[in-house]
Chains A and B, each alone.
Chain A
Amino acid sequence: MRNETYDIVIIGSGAGGGTVAAALAPLCADGVRMAVLEWGAKLGPEDLTGRELEMARKLYVDGGAVLTRDGAITLAAGRAYGGSTVVYTGTSLPIPERVIERWSVPGLEWSDIDQRCRKYLAENNAHLLSEELINDNNRLFREGCERLGYRVAPFPINTHGCLGSGLCNLGCPNGAKRGTHVVQLPQAEAHGVEVITHCRVTSIDDRICRAVVTPPEHGEASRWEPGEYAVHARIVIVCAGALHTPALLLRSGLGSKLPALGRYLTLHPALILVGEHDRPIANFRGHPKSYWSDQFLDSHGFVLETCMYFPFTTAKNLIGFGEEHAELMRGFERLQMILVLANDPARAENRVTVDRDGHPVVDYTLTEGVLDALHASMKEAARIFFAAGARRIHAPAGVTFFIEARDEERLDELIPRSNVLPGRISITSAHIMGGCRMGREAATSVTDAWGRVHGFDGLFVADASLFPRCSEVNPYVTVMALADRVAERVRSDARELLSR
């Protein structure tokens, strides 16, 4: 066991950890020693091959194949220098005022969060894409919504020099996406923050982080030799994501004093829906996620977004098998795709626990309300596909594999609610939130509104696990805003905490 000593240790380097690192980095000029411990690898351009399975293995926890305990939902969490910001599409939405009001966290004001969101929108170059970067897949969604009279809006995207390779979810091969691996972490390192990759923290014990550094399978080697480490720090900020932050704190024995730890997990459950046109369309080239519609957010609890996935991901998200499935896949270049994101309630029984080996286990039950929303979304997406000119669509709850355009009037009959069965339809989550929810009391929350863990001086959380409820929009900007608040609190508490 080797020993390392820092003043501040940040665990994780994604939207939370990368933001905290950059925001605290100026303290290095005052002699504060700071390290970011990142489980994943720092990849170079030669590592970003665009090959689906290879990149999933390099950039996602368990290759993107984490499942809930009942196997009904696939969970995608990034693991890399830059965390999930390496694999998101860069869609940059500030959190709406009504959501912060619904969160109802004492001391957390929307105006404060919104101001910080705007700061990171600017820092990350969030902007609307020019028309020439909008491919057919996105344009057809916009046109379909417009023909139906549905609200549709462009996403602000945080790229610079996007070449439209369409590989955002597998790591941009052109370095265009301005995640923390491009913006905040290099800033932090320039100030003297050390980023230790291939370093997995296994537990935290009285200001000592137990960690293991492994030899690299890919990417740059770690700054530290492989082996076990005891990393001493006066301040520890956990930013390992809503799956692994609660799991780390549970492994560290905090569960007995924090009954809400791991609980109130929300997943923003997602469906990938597909329509087929009678001709090839530009779909897998170009930015994959340029538009969204909140037409059904208030009435049915879901949003619709454009998306474009890769062959294996697409294949596993279709219902069915056999010749019809193969036929649809052979028409890959004719496919239009829509992603559904359903708002889910924060329930105490939806939670992260750890198994006897310390690995996170997710218990999550889809409510009838969420299943209703997913059902309604299939029918509305079908209408958009048809309005955009699709010849036929595939609905996961359809009574037949294909639904032809001529049958559009029969959608209620052809997509029955009774077919919306967890485990049968492929439901995914890339927006894992909660588990260390903010609040006033240790009985019902894990941290205060500034990310300070109740009852543990010097221990902070700064990632999506802070969310007390679903964010209702793509969450990364909100994570950065909350992390910025946590960094502010650390700065103001630093003199006292670092003198202990």
Chain B
Amino acid sequence: MIPLSPRRARFLVSLAPTIAPDVATLDTAGRARFESIVTRALDERPAQVRRQLGLLLDLVRFAPLLRYGRPFARLDAHRQAAWLRWLEGAPIVRLRAGFWGLKTLVYMGYYGQPHVWGSLGYRPFSRASSSGRDPGAERDV
């Protein structure tokens, strides 16, 4: 289970396809791997980082109320993207870096899965592949 409050964890999962659209194409096992990677990454970070991420998720979710009069989930795709682009170039370095960290977590959950590498055309050398087995399918990272 992603080590955030259930509400924040659900929002993170719902936000992920806006950042990495191909997350939406994951099957049940792929989504489970996504959550497993994100969970492990957060478990390994200090509690302070998890707290900061939680606050950032609240900001992403609710600050659009001030700007657009409705929360993130009720914005159309164009305004969601515009809001995230504002965060990416926000005037405060900690905010920009925080958004970069959020993106990085989503990208880790998706592009860190060896199972998706084939769809990118990425087929790395491995001892297993050199013996004819698919290294990405052997076990989860």
Given A165-B125, A173-B127, A426 and B100 contact (CB-CB distance below 8 Å): yes
> B141, A53: Cβ atoms under 8 Å?
yes
Closest CB-CB distance, B57 to chain A, in whole Å?
A: 15
User: B106 — nearest CB in chain A belongs to which residue?
Assistant: A321
Interchain CB contact (< 8 A) of A163 among B94, B97, B125? B125
Interchain CB contact (< 8 A) of B121 among A72, A165, A320, A333? A333
For the A-B complex, the count of residue pairs with Cβ-Cβ distances under 8 Å equals 130
> A173, B125: Cβ atoms under 8 Å?
yes
Q: Which B residues are in CB contact (< 8 Å) with A331?
A: 121
Give residues of chain B (90-117) contacting chain A, Cβ–Cβ below 8 Å: 93-98, 100-101, 103-104, 107-108, 110-112, 114, 116-117
Give residues of chain A (326-385) contacting chain B, Cβ–Cβ below 8 Å: 326, 329-334
A426–B103 CA distance with the chains assembled, in angstroms: 11
Q: Which B residues are in CB contact (< 8 Å) with A423?
A: 93-97, 100
* A389 adjacent to chain B (CB < 8 Å): no
* A311 adjacent to chain B (CB < 8 Å): yes
Interchain CB contact (< 8 A) of A53 among B95, B108, B119, B121? B108
A441–B67 CA distance with the chains assembled, in angstroms: 56
Q: Mark A107-120, 1 if CB is under 8 A from B, else 0.
A: 00000000000000
Q: Which A residues are in CB contact (< 8 Å) with B20?
A: 315, 321, 325-326
Interchain CB contact (< 8 A) of B18 among A310, A322, A421? A322
> A70, B97: Cβ atoms under 8 Å?
yes
Q: Which B residues are in CB contact (< 8 Å) with A50?
A: 124-126, 135
Closest CB-CB distance, B91 to chain A, in whole Å?
A: 9
Closest CB-CB distance, B32 to chain A, in whole Å?
A: 15
* B37 adjacent to chain A (CB < 8 Å): yes
> B141, A70: Cβ atoms under 8 Å?
no
Interchain CB contact (< 8 A) of B122 among A49, A323, A326, A333? A333
* B59 adjacent to chain A (CB < 8 Å): no
> A312, B108: Cβ atoms under 8 Å?
yes
Closest CB-CB distance, A255 to chain B, in whole Å?
A: 23
* B21 adjacent to chain A (CB < 8 Å): yes
Q: Which A residues are in CB contact (< 8 Å) with B141?
A: 51-54
* A147 adjacent to chain B (CB < 8 Å): no
Q: Which B residues are in CB contact (< 8 Å) with A314?
A: 111
> A332, B21: Cβ atoms under 8 Å?
no
Q: Which A residues are in CB contact (< 8 Å) with B89?
A: 419, 421, 424
> A49, B107: Cβ atoms under 8 Å?
no
Interchain CB contact (< 8 A) of A316 among B94, B108, B136? B108
> B19, A70: Cβ atoms under 8 Å?
no
* B29 adjacent to chain A (CB < 8 Å): no
Given A50-B125, A173-B125, A424-B100, A62 and B111 contact (CB-CB distance below 8 Å): no
> A166, B124: Cβ atoms under 8 Å?
yes
* A215 adjacent to chain B (CB < 8 Å): no
> B93, A326: Cβ atoms under 8 Å?
no
* A71 adjacent to chain B (CB < 8 Å): yes
User: A163 — nearest CB in chain B belongs to which residue?
Assistant: B125
* B81 adjacent to chain A (CB < 8 Å): yes
Q: Which of B45, B98, B120, B135 has the most CB of A within 10 A?
A: B120
Given A51-B141, A421-B89, A71 and B19 contact (CB-CB distance below 8 Å): no
* A285 adjacent to chain B (CB < 8 Å): yes
Interchain CB contact (< 8 A) of B101 among A71, A163, A322? A71
Closest CB-CB distance, A262 to chain B, in whole Å?
A: 20
Q: Mark B57-90, 1 if CB is under 8 A from A, else 0.
A: 0000000000000000000000001001100110
Interchain CB contact (< 8 A) of B93 among A72, A311, A325, A329? A72
Closest CB-CB distance, A413 to chain B, in whole Å?
A: 18
Q: Which of B84, B98, B103 has the most CB of A within 10 A?
A: B103
Given A53-B108, A332-B120, A333-B122, A424 and B114 contact (CB-CB distance below 8 Å): no
> A45, B127: Cβ atoms under 8 Å?
yes
> B84, A321: Cβ atoms under 8 Å?
yes
> A311, B111: Cβ atoms under 8 Å?
yes
> B100, A52: Cβ atoms under 8 Å?
no
* A226 adjacent to chain B (CB < 8 Å): no
Closest CB-CB distance, A181 to chain B, in whole Å?
A: 18
Given A71-B97, A71-B101, A424 and B88 contact (CB-CB distance below 8 Å): yes
Interchain CB contact (< 8 A) of B111 among A46, A65, A329? A329
Interchain CB contact (< 8 A) of B44 among A63, A165, A285, A326? A63
* A411 adjacent to chain B (CB < 8 Å): no
Closest CB-CB distance, A219 to chain B, in whole Å?
A: 16
Closest CB-CB distance, B85 to chain A, in whole Å?
A: 8
> B22, A285: Cβ atoms under 8 Å?
no
Q: Which A residues are in CB contact (< 8 Å) with B100?
A: 71, 316, 423-424, 426
A272–B124 CA distance with the chains assembled, in angstroms: 20
A52–B112 CA distance with the chains assembled, in angstroms: 7
A323–B45 CA distance with the chains assembled, in angstroms: 29
Q: Which B residues are in CB contact (< 8 Å) with A46?
A: 127
A-B contact pairs, 17 of them (CB 8 A): A50-B124, A51-B141, A53-B112, A62-B44, A165-B125, A166-B125, A284-B123, A311-B116, A311-B117, A326-B21, A330-B119, A331-B121, A419-B89, A421-B89, A421-B93, A421-B96, A423-B100
Q: Can you add 16 more A-B contacts, CB < 8 Å, to A51-B114, A312-B107, A333-B121?
A: A49-B127, A51-B136, A52-B112, A53-B141, A63-B41, A65-B41, A70-B93, A280-B121, A310-B122, A316-B103, A316-B104, A321-B20, A330-B119, A423-B97, A424-B96, A424-B100
Task: Please list the residues of chain A having a beta carbon within 8 angstroms of any beta carbon in chain B.
Answer: 45-46, 49-54, 62-63, 65, 67, 70-72, 163-167, 173, 280, 284-285, 310-312, 314-316, 319-323, 325-326, 329-334, 419, 421-424, 426
- Pairs of residues from A and B, 8 with the lowest C-beta to C-beta distance, nearest first: A71-B97, A423-B96, A333-B121, A165-B125, A423-B97, A332-B120, A315-B107, A311-B111
Task: Please list the residues of chain B having a beta carbon within 8 angstroms of any beta carbon in chain A.
Answer: 18-22, 37, 41, 44-45, 81, 84-85, 88-89, 93-98, 100-101, 103-104, 107-108, 110-112, 114, 116-117, 119-128, 135-136, 141
